[in-house]
Amino acid sequence: MTILLLAEHDNVTLSDQTSKVLTAAAQIGPDIHVLVAGKGARAVAEAAARLSGVSRVLLAESDALEHRMPEALAEAIVALAGGYDTIIACASSVGKATMPRVAALLDVMQVSEIVAVVAPDTFKRPIYAGNAIQTVQALDATKVITVRTSAFQATGTGGSAAIETISPATGEVLSTFVKNNLSKSDRPELQGARIVVSGGRALGSEAKFQELILQLADALGAAVGASRAAVDAGYAANDQQVGQTGKIVAPDLYIAVGISGAIQHLAGMKDAKVIVAINNDEDAPIFQAADYGLVGDLFAVLPELTAALRP
């Protein structure tokens, strides 16, 4: 069984998400090829070749693939699909935009956001906001899969796979890249962070969110998250939202401040190793998921906690 894994990268750096998808792929079959599609991405291909378990790296470079637009990327993958039993990618914005196109062009069913591999053709995936786990058997000749990487550990390095430069398929593309509007931060990236501090609507204002949540995150060297209610209220940016319609995180430590614990939010962080909840409502649902809970006024608790954590 040969597997094609779509690498997650920015043309300069290989994302840690790729090594987590590789862990899932290795449970499906031993012969794994990594596709690095982009432009000027030789360094990414070299990093992929060093991942343990990779047998081959395909480097496809063109102007159309520079920004990994779904149309061009899907066409490049489909052109290669004949040689693979499984095509797998991270359930990132790129994966979610591209892999359904691949599945449609191949006329197969996509298996989305798997969290476990039962057999090479059988997988587990969450449904109903994570309240149930569905076991799915894919009977198509070519399986198209996206992976919820929070459920898998990263694969280590030590490999020395060969890198082969290929000419990607080209064709008419109806969409064009205009620009990226990226938020910049010195803090860790949310989905890959070991510690996440998230704030909810109880913070009351953007100013209080910035003052209390960001200061605690800085003291811990943590990434900053937010509930959907906090994002909708304008306290935090959209890319900081944690939950079913936001980002899925599984850090070593997740601190939920002023978050009631709606099921949609829990779906995005319940796999954290340790969950700490701070809320003045002792009946808040978040305490049912928390390993440690503190009932108290967050406006009094957070400054004290931040001061205690600073050297």
Angle at 99 between CA 7 and CA 8, to 5 degrees: 15
Paired strand residues for 57? 34, 163
Query: What residue spans of the chain are helical by DSSP H?
Result: 16-28, 42-49, 70-80, 93-106, 206-208, 214-220, 228-232, 263-269, 286-289, 298-309
- Residue 187 confidence class, pLDDT cut points 50, 70, 90: confident
**Of the options 3.40.190.10, 3.30.2130.10, 3.40.50.620, 2.40.160.40, the CATH number for the domain spanning 2-166:** 3.40.50.620
Positions of CATH 3.40.50.620 in the chain: 2-166
Tokens 């995005």 correspond to: 268
Q: What average pLDDT is seen over the chain?
A: 93
* Architecture of the domain delimited by 190-309: 3-Layer(aba) Sandwich (3.40)
| Three-state DSSP state, 46 | helix
* Residues above pLDDT 90, as percent of the chain: 82
In the predicted model, what is the mean pLDDT of residues 9-30? 95
Please name the helix (run of DSSP H) or strand (run of DSSP E) that holds residue 274, with its range, or none. Answer: strand 274-279
What average pLDDT does the segment 176-194 reach?
81
User: In the structure, what pLDDT confidence band is assigned to residue 183 with cuts at 50, 70 and 90?
Assistant: low
First to last CA, the chain: 54
The more confidently predicted of residues 108 and 185 is 108
CATH 3.40.50.1220 domain range(s) in the chain: 190-309
Give the position of tokens 């593309």: 173
Q: In whole angstroms, what is the distance from residue 244 CA to residue 47 CA?
A: 31
Asked whether the CA dihedral 256, 258, 260, 264 is positive or negative, the reply is negative
Q: Give the CA distances from residue 20 to residues 23, 84, 251, in Å, rounded to whole numbers and listed in that order.
A: 5, 20, 14
| DSSP symbols for 281-294 | -TT-THHHH-SEEE
